[in-house]
Amino acid sequence: MTMVREVMTMEVRACSPHDPVTEAARIMRDINCGSVPVCEGKKIVGLITDRDIVLDCVAAGKDPNQVHCHDCMTQSVITCSPDTHAHECARMMANHQVRRIPVVENGELVGICAIGDLATMNIHINEAGEALSRISEQLH
């Protein structure tokens, strides 16, 4: 059975709680994703999404250089461990309507498992597709 550690991305870009949201947006642009972990050292304290920035900062007319990540990040982050089965990770994505799950070991961020990571393995294509389908249903 495939574990998350076999498919996750280990090089994770993160921002700190006191970084301006423009830093999180730049990371999202540079790595082409819609969410970035927010960490104090290696400890994950939140997750900020492009939607968080748009709704809590831009739409509110705030200056994105003055708003910090901790001002609009989600604090309750769904995580998994490197030893989580890839099948379970896909179920977690579907159940929580998320496309990326931070991977934590001994309290420290060690990677990210994205729905695309699961879809690259033939054994998980159905689960990844089902997870994406369920995530998309919730967005409509």
Give the start-to-end residue ranges of the domains of the chain.
4-139
The candidate with the shortest Cα–Cα distance to 37, out of 3, 8, 5, 58, is: 8
Rounded CA separation 47/52 (Å) = 9
Given a contact cutoff of 8 angstroms between Cβ atoms, the answer to whether 61 and 10 are in contact is no
- pLDDT reported for residue 122: 55
This prediction has a pTM of 0.83
CATH number of the structural domain 4-139: 3.10.580.10
How much is the average pLDDT of 91-99? Answer: 88
pLDDT in tens, 29-88: 999 999 999 999 999 999 999 999 999 999 999 999 999 999 999 999 999 999 999 989
